Amino acid sequence: MKSLLISLIEKYHPFNIRYFKSLVVLAITSLSGIVLVLGWMSSKNVREVVTEDFNQQQLLLARHAASQIENSIEVLKRELLLLSLSPSIQYSEAPSLMNRMNITFSSIKHEGTLGIGFIENETQKFYHVRDKHKCPLANLYHGDIDYLKWARLEENKGNILLTDVTPVLSLSDDQSQILIMKMISPVWQISVDASHPVATNKFAGALIFVVDAGYLIKKITKEIRSGKTGYAWVIDENGMFLYHQETSFISKNAFEARIGKQPTISFDRINEIQQEKMLKGKEGASWYVSGWHRGLEGEIKKLIAYTPIKLNDNTKDRIWSIAVVAPISEVEGAIYSIYVQHNTLQALVIFVILSGGLFINFIILSWSNTLEKEVTKKTADLKKSEQKYKSLVENAEDIIFSIDYNGNFLSINKYGARFFDKTEEDIVGHNLSEILSWPSAETFLLVIQKVFETKESQQITHLVIIGERQCWFSTNLRRLFDEKGNIYAVLGISRDITERRKIEEHSYYTEKLASMGTLAAGVAHEINNPLGVILGFTDLLLEKAPPDSQEYDLLKTIERQGLNAKRVVENLLNFARHKEHKEEFVDINKNIETVLAVMNNTLLINKISVKKQLEKNLPTVKADSAELQQVFFNIINNAIHAMQRGGVLTIKTMSFNNDTVEISFADTGHGIKKEHRNRIFDPLFTTKEVGKGTGLGLSVSYGIATKHRGAITFETKTKEESEETGTTFIIAFPTAYSEQVETK
């Protein structure tokens, strides 16, 4: 669970560039989205607020116009009532009746009144004054008699009847249509004057105002400007246009006129507004789609504000409705500038977000580029260092391996694999016991397991058996940790120290020789003294004894053995003596020739032929000639001894790379027995008969070779090992040249 969480975090943590970039893109997109949505909502809001505001203003205009129209009607009503109270009218007193009517007419004819008429009840006589050019009411109409009936009713006393607006043709020359509305007031004889001191309270007739409603409304509404182009229109309670900017609509039904003009457009919305709101005397604001506006045509959205015009009629609800409309483009002007500001701001915000995003992206990109470069560089470095380490490990002259607790190899370097005469595949995955022989694998595994358990590095020197081969290893073992700090393997670095051990053993010999030398010197001194006395007296006695006597023989034996002892001591002393060691540039070949010349006789006697293969122009060696000759002498002497029945002695000299000179003496003798091979350089070790060898020749030679920074080795075959028996001694010396180089 925990590891799942960690892996998820590792996968999605913000420093994972891929996800971080996606995150930034997402953030920018959503921020921009939010800004756009907010902007859109705010624009919508602004549009609503502005529209609302505009419509409120339109409504104010509408209300104002409505109240003006109401006022105008009210003024006419008052005039009508006032006139009905005039005694001249009530009592039909000609000519004052006409005078009175004229006075009133002249004061109200500018208010859209076309004429004033009075129907006398008893006579049914019709008195009237009028605008002769317009007013069609010259005679009493049949309908007007009906007004008389209405006026006569007691309950209508004091009331004013407003007729429906009716379009009629004007009497003027253009025969234009005018909208006529009549206002009727009952006239009762309730006033008094000089001729009628007491009011009769009789019904006198009906007084009629003929009002050009179209004019009256137009006078008020045509000046209305909503915005720049908005205008007003008015419908009556039947839905007829009383006024419209489009004059052809006037007197037409509002529900039909529009469709008549633009049949392709749906006027449902305005029709509904008219039907449900305006005709029901409601006030409000809304919008609708029209097909035109002033000169423009096409689908135009319009804002509308409407309010009722209430004409107090006692008989029925006579409610007109005025609407002020303007295309939405009126508002758009205002909205536009806000929009511009708004959009600028929005664009700015988005720009900032985008550039912020881009900047972040750029930073990330360059950062990731840098990172990538860094990573590439580090990877290359790592690779290089890995290669370096690998080549270090692979080319190391040590066996480098890792191994687990059970002794299974986890890795091994090439040198190691080669050392075991196997490939890496043959070793990795295999157990120690498959590679090493008993008991070296088991003991080694115990040490490895100890490292696991004790947590301490180990440095051991141990014997390793690989098949038939025996090697000495110096091995360093230390733990390897994984990422979590657990030990998972042991790293081992093994060095084959077999050779070194040999050298160490040799130097041990050398040291032994040196101490032997010191000892020998002391011994020689102690022996030489008595030996001198013995030999001296023997010599004296020999002179006195007759040569053929037994005493003489015995004394000779004493002398011989004494001389043997003397030779042993001499050799010992040679071995030990701190003779002056004088090194000079020496020609090895010449020294060999010298020794051979001395030994020529001996070689001949022993039937030994000498084959010389001496390299010409052999590099010189810095050495003490006498000592070298002693070495050659000793080795040739041994060879002669080994070839008791004659044989061939091959002497070769050769140089390598101008830095080593090698001299080999190969005999065809019986070879050195296995059990003797380890001991031939030991001082006092000899296989020769008693008295014939001192056992010092080879150890002295070894000492000399070592002193000259050289080495003596040998190869030997006995008859058990080969048909061709014999021993080859090889002596190697550094050349004078190589030593000069070294000292330099």
Interface contacts to another protein, rule CB under 8 A = 521, 524-526, 528-537, 539-540, 562, 566, 573, 577-580
CA distance 206 to 116: 11
Q: In terms of CB distance, is 43 or 528 closer to another protein?
A: 528
**Which candidate, 515, 639, 645, places its Cα nearest to that of 576?**
515
Peptide bond into 439 cis (omega under 30): yes
Q: In terms of CB distance, is 469 or 581 closer to another protein?
A: 581
Least distance (Å) between residue 579 CB and another protein: 6
Angle (CA) 539-542-548 rounded to 5° is: 155
Strand partners, 209: 116, 183
Q: In terms of CB distance, is 392 or 540 closer to another protein?
A: 540
Burial tier of 575 (Cβ tally within 10 Å: 0-12, 13-18, 19+): buried
Do residues 226 and 58 make contact, with C-beta atoms less than 8 angstroms apart?
yes
**Which candidate, 535, 603, 598, places its Cα nearest to that of 569?**
535
- Collapsing DSSP to helix, strand or coil, 403 comes out as strand
Amino acid in the structure at residue 185: S
Q: In terms of CB distance, is 276 or 526 closer to another protein?
A: 526
Q: In terms of CB distance, is 566 or 717 closer to another protein?
A: 566
Least distance (Å) between residue 572 CB and another protein: 11
Least distance (Å) between residue 623 CB and another protein: 19
If you search the block for the tokens 């008295």, which residue do you land on?
691
Task: Indicate the helix (H) or strand (E) that contains 232.
Answer: strand 231-235
Least distance (Å) between residue 521 CB and another protein: 7
Q: In terms of CB distance, is 477 or 573 closer to another protein?
A: 573
Q: In terms of CB distance, is 436 or 573 closer to another protein?
A: 573
Question: Sign of dihedral through CA atoms 46, 47, 49, 54?
Answer: positive
The long-range contacts involving 559-567, CB below 8 angstroms and separated by at least 24 positions, are: 559/535, 562/531, 562/534, 562/535, 562/538, 563/535, 564/691, 565/527, 565/531, 566/528, 566/531, 566/535, 567/694
**Which candidate, 207, 74, 82, 87, places its Cα nearest to that of 150?**
207
Q: How far is CA 216 from CA 66, 131, 149, 167, 439, in A?
A: 12, 15, 28, 14, 135
Least distance (Å) between residue 515 CB and another protein: 18
CA distance 559 to 184: 196
Least distance (Å) between residue 498 CB and another protein: 40
List Cβ neighbours of 564 (8 Å cut-off, separation of 6 or more).
Answer: 691
Strand partners, 226: 230
Q: In terms of CB distance, is 582 or 612 closer to another protein?
A: 582
CB-facing half-sphere around the CA of 156: CA atoms within 13 A? 21
Do residues 619 and 586 make contact, with C-beta atoms less than 8 angstroms apart?
no
Strand partners, 726: 717
Record the tokens describing residue 108, joined without a space: 């109200």
Peptide bond into 95 cis (omega under 30): yes
Task: Indicate the helix (H) or strand (E) that contains 135.
Answer: none
CA distance 613 to 596: 14
Least distance (Å) between residue 462 CB and another protein: 46
Q: In terms of CB distance, is 456 or 539 closer to another protein?
A: 539
Q: In terms of CB distance, is 502 or 582 closer to another protein?
A: 582
Taking residue 588's Cβ as centre, other Cβ atoms within 10 Å add up to: 25
Q: In terms of CB distance, is 499 or 551 closer to another protein?
A: 551
Q: In terms of CB distance, is 257 or 573 closer to another protein?
A: 573
CA distance 374 to 705: 60
Least distance (Å) between residue 587 CB and another protein: 25
List Cβ neighbours of 299 (8 Å cut-off, separation of 6 or more).
Answer: 265, 289, 290, 291
Q: In terms of CB distance, is 120 or 627 closer to another protein?
A: 627
- Collapsing DSSP to helix, strand or coil, 250 comes out as coil
Least distance (Å) between residue 533 CB and another protein: 4
Least distance (Å) between residue 520 CB and another protein: 12
Q: In terms of CB distance, is 563 or 730 closer to another protein?
A: 563
Q: In terms of CB distance, is 527 or 648 closer to another protein?
A: 527
Q: In terms of CB distance, is 426 or 559 closer to another protein?
A: 559
Least distance (Å) between residue 630 CB and another protein: 15
CA distance 444 to 432: 9
Record the tokens describing residue 288, joined without a space: 């609708």
Strands (E), 626-703: 647-656, 660-666
CA distance 304 to 38: 28
Name the H helices within 491-549.
498-544
Residues in the chain: 744
